[in-house]
Amino acid sequence: MDWSDPKYDELAKQDFLRSEIVADLRAGRYDRVHTRFPPEPNGYIHIGNAKAIWLNYCIARDFGGKFNLRFDDTNPVKEEKEFIDSIIRDVAWLGADCEGRVFYASDYFQQMYDWARDLINKGKAYVDDLSADEISQHRGNLTTPGRNSPWRERPVEENLDLFERMKNGEFPDGAKVLRAKIDMAHPNMNMRDPLMYRIIHAPHPHAGDKWCIYPIYDWAHGLEDSIEGITHSMCSIEFENHRPLYDWFLIELGIYKPRQIEFARMNVSYTIMSKRYLKMLVGENRVSGWDDPRMPTIAGMRRRGYPARAIQDFLERAGIAKKANTIAFELLESCVREELNRTAPRLMGVLNPLKVVVENLPEGHSEEFDAVNNPEDPAMGTRKVPFTREVYIEREDFMEVPEKKFFRLAPGREVRLRYAYLLTCDSAVKDSAGVITELRCHVDLASRGGNAPDGRKVKSTMHWVSATESVPAEARLYDRLFTVEDPSGEEGKFLEHLNPDSLKVLKDCRLEPAATNLRAGDRVQLERLGYFAADQDSEPGRLVLNRTVTLRDSYTKGK
């Protein structure tokens, strides 16, 4: 590669990460770019993780390099095969192609163990018998230096023997740990003889029962990067203080050293990113699962109907920062609307039906009108929509005593039925409780297609479906899961901010017949109602639609 090419100057202008990488390449520190996304499989990945995924993938792509998906599966107690499978699926769906490079830290456990023995032999690591509480007490704090463990000066041979016996399962959980021997008075707390291994007698979702000692993240992470030939290990900003330890292990072992660079995590308003909190929502049945459409997980967003391209657009607009920032949830919704406006076909549907009987049409009347599938894309063509003597309109589109600025249907008022006729309401039929059950109306038969021959104007156009040729559906209307912008602002109180109206289920909806062709994951715009996606719960004769996003774009309107 000719890294002096001016195109890399343009890449360097995009953000500080690309600028640093260009500088490394031109200085000869690296001759290629190889990145990775290293999730711990202890939950489903969320929109915050998606930033790291897309960032690492795009940087590798921009520099003609490689991108790995690598599981940091070093804690079998919290990890599950379900999470591994979901992460592989979601990374691929998002569009970050790792070209089959899916790796596991657990596949490197033997090499990590051998390297740990190397450090013991160099006098740079030791087996410690202190308990977790005692280790914490010995560590000191930011103003007080730590104290050496009484086991710190164990002979090398004794450490090697104990470490092997730890591996062989001779000791119970918590009985011993392996620690690096660095400096208990170091101003960086991470350098005060950090843990390298702990004993955990638990089956591993990928490695099975082969191991009962497992590496600590700080020990394992740099080794994994080194083994895979990663050039730039991009981490979130909280790992900045861990970088000296990342470097120390690699230097002491004398092995290939990638460069760690930190960037800020992305927060999104009205959303939580903590996997601990997300797991609590699932475990306490506050949501239906990790893929609940209200969850900020990639699986939840996919099920809700968010297109991958819209999420990519959102991540690119959010940018890369050095300090923690919160991106408006409205920007994400705006990106979804823009993408679906271009790509989603239109249908008509009625969520809360009110029957209209067109009395000047004969019993059994049926005719068809041409409807545009997407005005943004003429190539999507048209479809046929049946119009019959009985149709449904939205109940909220009729008002017996209309308020000021209510321009839809009322007694004696004329409206346009989209694609069909001009309709006038003659009377309303009520039940014994005074509830309106149907409307008696007539159409202007000369206005076929929705335009009056005399050119008279009507103020409202309404959607509708045939009462006899429409299909039943259930609509799940989703809203934000939380009522405040920062639900995790108060530790332990995020559940108090759950939105009681985050899901409303309407079971008696009706859709035009073309909806029978929808399959799970298909997205449509229901005219005047919003964007919807067919849910995996749909069954033959029972279509379930998730509202992806409303039509109103408050983000751009507020600018």
Q: Looking at the annotation, which residues are catalytic? A: 40, 265, 275
Interatomic CA distance for residues 320 and 59, integer angstroms: 12
Interatomic CA distance for residues 374 and 380, integer angstroms: 6
Among residues 286, 259, 257, the alpha carbon closest in space to that of 272 is found at 286
Write the DSSP string, 295-362: SSBHHHHHHHT--HHHHHHHHHHH---SS-EEE-HHHHHHHHHHHHHHHPPEE-EESSEEEEEETTS-
Q: Which two tokens stand for residue 440?
A: 């008696």
Q: Which residues contact 191 (CB under 8 A, 6 or more apart)?
A: 182, 183, 244, 245, 248
Q: CB neighbours (10 Å) of residue 212? A: 20
Question: 465 has which bridge partners?
Answer: 392
Q: How far apart are the first and last CA of the chain?
A: 43
The SS3 assignment for 57 reads helix
Looking at 149-219, which runs of residues are DSSP E strands?
177-180, 195-199, 213-215
Q: Which two tokens stand for residue 101?
A: 């490079």
Please give the helix or strand (H or E) that residue 524 lies within, else none: strand 523-526
Q: Which two tokens stand for residue 523?
A: 């997205």
